[in-house]
Every structure is written in C-alpha cells, then in structure tokens.
C-alpha cells in the first residue's frame, strides 16, 4: 500500500473512466495535497 500523506498529487482523470474530481477526493482523503486536477478525453 502506498502512503500518500504529505505527498503532492496530479489527478488526471479520463472522461469515460474515473474523473479527475473523484481521484482528487480519494487522494485528499488519504492525506495527499492535490496540486492539479483535470479530466481528459483520451482516444
């Protein structure tokens, strides 16, 4: 298991998968600081 406390995170989500905001919420609940959030469409 990865310890995210006091780490900086880039939350890059995918439009048809997991959105960036969901990744942000998970990372923040694990104690990380999210510095960038985006949801992209990868084709």
Domain ranges of the chain: 8-40
The pair of structure tokens assigned to 3 is 């310890």
Tell me the whole-structure pTM to 2 decimals. Answer: 0.86
What's the CA angle centered on 7, arms 16 and 4, to 5 degrees? 70
Chain segment 4-39, per-residue pLDDT in tens: 999 999 999 999 999 999 999 999 999 999 999 999
Are 39 and 15 contacting, i.e. CB atoms less than 8 angstroms apart? yes
Strands 8-14 and 33-40: parallel
pLDDT computed for residue 14 by the predictor? 95
1 against 20, higher pLDDT: 20
Q: Is the pLDDT of residue 1 over 80?
A: no
């Amino acid at each position: 298991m990865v310890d995210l406390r006091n780490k900086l995170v880039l939350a890059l989500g995918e439009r048809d998968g997991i959105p960036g905001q969901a990744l942000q919420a998970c990372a923040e609940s694990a104690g990380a600081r999210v510095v960038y959030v985006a949801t992209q469409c990868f084709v």
